[in-house]
Amino acid sequence: MAKSLNSEGKIAAIPSVRNEYTGQIWTIEDVRREVEKVRRLLTQEGYKPGLVRSIAFNPRLTKSCGRTHRFRATFEMDFSVNYFKKSGADSIWDTIAHEVIHTVPGCFNHGDGFKAAARCLEKHGYHVGRLCRDEEYAKYITQKKAFGTTYHVVCEDCGWDGTRRKKLSKILKGIMQEGQRRYSCPVCGSHKLSVYRVDFPGLETQLKSIKL
C-alpha cells in the first residue's frame, strides 16, 4: 500500500501560519478554499484540473514555495511555512494558483501548457510565473543564505549553551538519540541535552529526539 505524502499527523502539526507582514493567519482551510476557487476558474477556461487530495504546511520545504505530488489519480500539495510567514499576500495567491495549474494534464512541468493556463488566469487577477518573484521573500532568502544554518546544544537543567556548529555532526546526532546517557553537560553534568537548529536570527528550532 502506497504511503501518503501528507499524513494526518503532518497536516495536524501545523494547522495555520501567520504572515509577519500583513498579520493574516492562513489556515489549511483557507488554502483549500483558494485551491478550489482556482480549480473552478480553470474549469471555466476549459481545463481539467485534478482533484487535490490533501494540503499541508511543511516546515522542511525550503527550496521552493510550494510543491505538488501525484498520488494515484489525485494530487497532494504542501507549502513552505517560511514562505507563508515572510512573503507578500498577493504572492501567496499566485503561488497557490501555480500549484493548482500543475494538476492540469500536460502542465506538471513549466512548459507551454503551463504558461497557457497561467495566461488564462491573468484575467482573474493572478500573475503566475515559473518562479516566485516576491520581493520580501527574496530578501529573507538572501539574508538566510548569508547567515547560514548553525546547530548548538543547550542543557535543559542549567541553561548551558554550547558552541555554534555548521554541521549536524555524529556527536550532535548522538545527543539527539532518545534516552542517551553518553553525553552530559560540562557545567552541571546533566544528560538532559537538546540540539537546536538556527536558520536565521530569531528563528530557532528544537530538533526532536531520534532513535539510532
Cα dihedral 197, 199, 200, 206, rounded to 10, equals: -30
Does the structure show a pLDDT above 50 at 96?
yes
Q: Is the same domain home to 94 and 172? A: no
Residues in the chain: 212
* pLDDT confidence bin for 199, thresholds 50/70/90: confident
Q: Which domain holds residue 197?
A: 148-206
Q: Is the same domain home to 125 and 23? A: yes
Written as nine digits, the cell of 70 is 501525484
Q: Is the same domain home to 160 and 107? A: no
Task: Quote the CA–CA distance of 77 and 186 in Å, as a whole number.
Answer: 45
Q: Is the same domain home to 92 and 127? A: yes
Which of 123, 143, 163 corresponds to the end of one domain?
143
Which of 143, 174, 192 corresponds to the end of one domain?
143
Place of cell 515559473: 130
Q: How many domains does the chain have?
A: 2
Task: Quote the CA–CA distance of 207 and 73 in Å, as a whole number.
Answer: 35
Written as nine digits, the cell of 187 is 557545567
Cβ neighbours for 39, distance < 8 A, ≥ 6 positions apart: 49, 52, 100, 103
Q: Is the same domain home to 72 and 101? A: yes
* pLDDT confidence bin for 88, thresholds 50/70/90: confident
Residue 96 within a domain: yes
Which residues are 75's β-sheet partners?
A: 52, 70
* pLDDT confidence bin for 41, thresholds 50/70/90: very high
What's the mean per-residue pLDDT of the chain? 87
Q: Is the same domain home to 114 and 85? A: yes
Kindly report the pTM of this predicted structure: 0.69
CATH code, domain carrying 91: 3.30.2010.10
Better pLDDT: 209 or 149: 149
Which of 120, 143, 166 corresponds to the end of one domain?
143
Residue 105 within a domain: yes
What is the percentage of the chain residues whose pLDDT exceeds 90? Answer: 55
Q: Is the same domain home to 34 and 105? A: yes
**19: helix, coil or strand?**
coil
Residue 212 within a domain: no
Residues 127-170 have pLDDT tens digits of 998 888 777 787 777 777 767 788 999 998 888 998 888 888 89
Task: Quote the CA–CA distance of 197 and 169 in Å, as a whole number.
Answer: 12
How many angstroms from the chain centroid is the CA of residue 127?
21
* pLDDT confidence bin for 59, thresholds 50/70/90: confident
Complete edge-to-edge strand list for the sheet that includes strand 203-206: 150-155, 193-200, 203-206
Cβ neighbours for 206, distance < 8 A, ≥ 6 positions apart: 194, 195, 196
Q: Is the same domain home to 21 and 96? A: yes
Written as nine digits, the cell of 161 is 549553551
Does the structure show a pLDDT above 70 at 112?
yes
Measured CA distances, 55 to 7, 29, 62, 122, 195 (Å): 10, 9, 17, 24, 29
Specify the pLDDT at position 71.
83
65, 80 contact by CB (below 8 A): yes
